[in-house]
Amino acid sequence: MEGVRVRVEQTPLPGIGVRHDLVTSSGRTVGVVSHRNGRRDLVLYDVDDPDSCLASIPLTDDEAEALADVLGASLMLGQLSGLRQQAAGLLTEQIALPAGSPFVGRKLGDTRARTRTSASIVAVLREREVIASPLPSFVFDANDVVVAVGTRQGLDGVTAILAGDHDD
């Protein structure tokens, strides 16, 4: 459903906070109630009565952040994989940074990956976190997963660079 705008409605809840509702393409309404005290509740509404709440799940800050990370990561990776169908020869790949990589503890800019391969590192997955569009000053950790976009040859080059197997 490309080009379809998603509408999120904001409703003030006097004395409580604010509610944001989203009606999905399947007709279900989900929302987030942000309380003035900082608490958040994820809510699911009845299909037949959008004012009737079927379930309310309180979320801690860490849980809300984790849920946002999961949704953001899956959305970003889905969009990147969609590039595969849109541009001939352009691929996306997740590349695990080997523990023995010479780039563990070093900056992304030190790889010179784009200059050397014409492939771009567009994100880094670290535990439950997605670092989108990392800057050249971004420092790699062991077990990072690099998301790169490029040709097959370029992605193979990025993999070799991160493994320390690429000659300049």
CATH of 74-163, one of 3.40.50.1700, 3.50.7.10, 3.30.70.1450, 3.30.365.10: 3.30.70.1450
Strand, helix or coil at 51? Answer: coil
Stated as kind and residue range, the H or E segment containing 120 is strand 120-126
Residue ranges per domain, the chain? Answer: 8-59, 74-163
56 φ, ψ (degrees, to nearest 5): -130, 120
> Residue 69: is its pLDDT beyond 70?
no
Tell me the pairing of strands 40-45 and 53-59: antiparallel
Contacts of 112 (CB under 8 A, 6+ apart): 161
Per residue in 91-143, pLDDT (tens digit) is 788 888 888 899 999 999 999 999 999 899 988 988 878 888 888 999 999 88
Cβ atoms within 10 A of the Cβ of 22, count? 13
Hey, which of 18-22, 101-105, 148-152 has the most confident mean pLDDT? Answer: 101-105
> Please, what is the average pLDDT of the chain?
81
